[in-house]
Amino acid sequence: MNTQSPLIELRNVSMDYGSGKDQMLALEEIDLTIAPQDFVCVLGPSGCGKSTLMKIIAGYQQPTTGEAIFQGEPIQGPDWHRGVVFQSPTLYPWLNVKDNVGFGPNIRGLDKKEVDRISDHFLEQIGMLKDKDKAVFELSGGMRQRVALARVLANRPEMILMDEPLGALDALTRLNMQTLIRDLWQENKNTVLMITHDVDEAMSLGNRLIVMSKQPGKIIKTYDLDYTYQALKTNNHRVNIDSTYLEIKNEILDLINTDLNSPASIETSKK
């Protein structure tokens, strides 16, 4: 984690859904600080509130109690500073690839030449410049997710929020996408928060990992890791799976799978 002033601060954030006897506590007393250019991966059992946490940072939901702060200001609602990528890419089927990527800059009133320049730049980054005139229905799942990423990047957001973005992809495409996401993070210097169920994916991409307890979701442990930096240094983009890696992976799996009714206080480990 770097030491610049935080991009995101969650202070004592709790989130209730429903009311009366249907009321349930989804998140409880979350304190989280995310620095610029962090790549934070969030892991935790199904239903522990990962997406709720992401929606609060995106501005889709206000916490029931506590504060969600972006660059020192309370998050009031969604805006282009924090772009969201979902598991199922939400592309506009009536627009071709290039116009999907240029959608945000176009809406913001940039002139056509500038919109084209931005679209081409990000299509190049995702390796799909040659596909720019294709229709959405002509794309594979992995290609759609790449276009969804480029569309978010074209808005030049400070932060990218991803909710299981690779969950629907086959294993090989998923590995290639992990490499692409890491490269895009490095190249564009965004801050990333990514939810995943895959511990290896989290360990190989994130420089910070957050593990949450089962509902009500609390942060039970955070890790600062450097496997993603190692992967950036190698030609084949692979992480070195050493004994420490396996220890941390097993510890995380235990944390996620153990009954965590009384989560321990927050701990931070450094590899």
Under the rule (CB under 6 A), what is the footprint of ligand ATP?
A: 17-18, 26, 44, 46-52, 215
Cα gap 150→102, rounded to integer Å: 9
> What is the separation of C-alpha 86 from the centre of its chain, rounded to a whole number of angstroms?
9
CB of 240 to ligand ATP, least distance (A): 29
Between 16 and 114, whose beta carbon lies closer to ligand ATP? 16
CB 211 within 8 A of CB 178: no
Shortest separation between residue 26's beta carbon and ligand ATP, angstroms: 4
User: The tokens 């790449």 sit on which residue?
Assistant: 146
- Which residues, in sequence order, are CB contacts of 178 under 8 Å at separation 6+? 166, 201, 204, 205
φ/ψ of 242, rounded to 5, equals -95, -175
Nearer to ligand ATP by Cβ, of 36 and 167: the residue is 167
Q: At what angle do helices 141-153 and 171-188 cross, to 10 degrees?
A: 10
Residues whose CB falls within 8 Å of the CB of residue 262, separated by 6 or more in sequence, listed in order: none
CB of 245 to ligand ATP, least distance (A): 24
For the bound state, the minimum distance from the C-beta of residue 220 to ligand ATP, rounded and expressed in Å, comes to: 13
* Cβ-based nearer residue to ligand ATP, 208 or 237: 208
Residue type (1 letter), 102: G
Assess contact for 217 and 30: CB atoms under 8 A: yes
Q: How far is the CB of 17 from ligand ATP (least distance, A)?
A: 3
Q: Which is closer to ligand ATP, CB of 34 or CB of 54?
A: 54
Indicate the residue among 52 and 191 with the shorter CB distance to ligand ATP. Answer: 52
Return the bridge partners of 74, or none. Answer: 69
Minimum CB separation of residue 53 from ligand ATP in Å reads 7
Cβ proximity to ligand ATP: between 17 and 86 the closer is: 17
Do the strands 219-224 and 82-85 form a parallel or antiparallel pair, or are they unpaired? unpaired
